[in-house]
Amino acid sequence: MQARRSLWGVCAGCLGVAALSLLAPSTPTYDPWAWLIWGREVGGLDLDTTAGPAWKPLPVLVTTTLAPLGETAPSVWLVLARAGGLLAVVLAFRLAARIAGGSGRWFAGAVAVIGLLATVGFLRGVAGGSSEGLLIALILLAFDRHLDERRGQAFALGTAAALLRPEVWPFLAAYAVWLWRREPGTRRLIAVLLPLVPLLWFAPELWGSGDLLRSSERAQVPSPGAPALAARPALEVLERFATMVPLPILLGALAASAVAFRRREPAPLALAGGAAAWVALVAAMSEAGYSGEERYLLVAAALTAVLGGLGAGLLYAAVVGRAPRLVAPAAAAALAVAVAASLPAARRLGDELTYAAELRADLAAAVERAGGTAQLRSCGPLYAGRQRFPLVAWHLRAHISDLSLVPHAPGVVFRSRLEPDVGPAPVVPAGFRLVASAGAWEVHAACDA
């Protein structure tokens, strides 16, 4: 009971810190804007998923409940997503410290936290409202619940994780089989929850696009530079994973795995096996045409960070007996160096978030100066640059599929710089006139008389 109260207190603290983070410039990124639009459309019984990213059930379940909040919904989603990322960090510390035990447990937890925070793409995704922080939190918490022999809770958390990424499915299915055999008391829960996974992934797509496999097909359209475009996609995935996690963390994870194998310790072996299987699954999917981007590997990176923390804890415990007076100062110095090394990347991320927030605010101003949503939509088809469709669609209360990339009259073009150092897009053809501008945005129109 005390552990449960402690966990609820941690969750409340994460929500509070996430809410305070909105004092800094903040805005969702591409996928979260799409989820917010789809949540609004589900509430209005007008779901259209023919354009946009791949469908994800859990985020849209949440954004559907947020839809009545209107323009406040994006901020609330950011709070929830960032709180999930913060909870993932806390759970990484808790899990590494728990498994390490002994005198090195605090150092193991601290190194696990640094490893997760330093993982390529983690902070950027959490700050922009992506679902990876929530996904990692659910998986780490499920593992923690399993260790506490709360297997039903672990399965429920795994089911929630399976509504965020399809890579979870084989792991959840294997766990369901294990539970069904080992703990008959969980069979009713499994029978209720497991069918929800395919139902919530495929039924909304059939409603919104008429195509059960639309998300699968969308996931096979890789972004420029994705591993799927390499000559050997699987090898590219493995190489990128090796560079996502800081080298000391990776080496610590390998050391912890080797020690666990020698000692036959199930918890670290499960973490190592899960990380390896996840990377192998993403690599195999990349060979089948799926993009294999780094964000798909963040769960494996989080498990590796926990293992890296275990390796650091083992080193700490081994050294403390030989030079007890030097260990604590040396450990503190190592952590301080790691934090200092991350500051430049944190500043770059802050600059990116500031520009993205300005882009959102400028668009709202430009729409108002151009006459408002109703007038612009009555002018004709809508056009915007790549990666801006959901943002524009949200502000115009339009479907994502209402926007196109190559403008032609009649219509309205929303032109902007996606990043400060790139040119504005799309190209505006002859016949359009500038009707409004605000900051990074221009609105050009050629209305159908």
68-87 pLDDT tens trace: 999 999 999 999 999 999 99
Q: Kindly state whether residues 384 and 312 are assigned to the same domain.
A: no
pLDDT value of position 32: 97
Indicate the angle between helix axes 73-100 and 30-43, nearest 10 degrees.
Answer: 120
Q: Kindly state whether residues 378 and 302 are assigned to the same domain.
A: no
Residue 54 identity: A
Q: Kindly state whether residues 160 and 214 are assigned to the same domain.
A: yes
Whether 341 has a pLDDT exceeding 70, the answer reads no
142 domain-assigned: yes
The CA distance from 285 to 281, in Å, is: 6
Single pTM value for the model: 0.93
342 domain-assigned: no
201 domain-assigned: yes
344 domain-assigned: no
Q: Kindly state whether residues 99 and 176 are assigned to the same domain.
A: yes
Reading the block at residue 330, the tokens are: 């040396």
Domains of the chain: total: 2
| Contact indicator for 96, 310 with CB cutoff of 8 Å | yes
421 domain-assigned: yes
Q: Kindly state whether residues 102 and 248 are assigned to the same domain.
A: yes
Which pLDDT band holds residue 337 (cuts at 50, 70, 90)?
Answer: low
Task: Please report which residue ranges of 101-167 form alpha helices under DSSP H.
Answer: 105-117, 122-127, 132-147, 151-162
Q: Kindly state whether residues 253 and 305 are assigned to the same domain.
A: yes
Whether 283 has a pLDDT exceeding 90, the answer reads yes
Q: Kindly state whether residues 127 and 204 are assigned to the same domain.
A: yes
DSSP secondary structure code for residue 425 in this structure: B
Distance of CA 153 to the CA centre of its chain: 22
What's the domain range around 363? 353-446
pLDDT value of position 328: 60
440 domain-assigned: yes
Reading the block at residue 192, the tokens are: 């209720």
Whether 344 has a pLDDT exceeding 80, the answer reads no
| Contact indicator for 399, 409 with CB cutoff of 8 Å | no
Contacts with 133 (C-beta within 8 Å, 6 or more apart), sequence order: 81, 82, 84, 85, 86, 87, 88, 122, 125, 126
Nearest residue to 390 (alpha-carbon basis) of 128, 81, 210: 128
- Section 357-362 average pLDDT: 93
Q: Kindly state whether residues 179 and 265 are assigned to the same domain.
A: yes
pLDDT value of position 168: 97
Q: Kindly state whether residues 402 and 273 are assigned to the same domain.
A: no
Whether 343 has a pLDDT exceeding 90, the answer reads no
230 domain-assigned: no
Whether 145 has a pLDDT exceeding 90, the answer reads yes
Peptide bond into 410 cis (omega under 30): yes
- Section 247-257 average pLDDT: 93
303 domain-assigned: yes
| Contact indicator for 89, 301 with CB cutoff of 8 Å | no
- Section 295-306 average pLDDT: 96
Whether 231 has a pLDDT exceeding 90, the answer reads no
pLDDT value of position 363: 95
Q: Kindly state whether residues 316 and 404 are assigned to the same domain.
A: no
151-198 pLDDT tens trace: 999 999 999 999 999 999 999 999 999 999 999 999 999 999 999 999
| Contact indicator for 127, 176 with CB cutoff of 8 Å | no
Q: How far separated are the first and last CA of the chain, in Å rounded?
A: 69
Q: Kindly state whether residues 392 and 442 are assigned to the same domain.
A: yes
Q: Kindly state whether residues 188 and 54 are assigned to the same domain.
A: yes
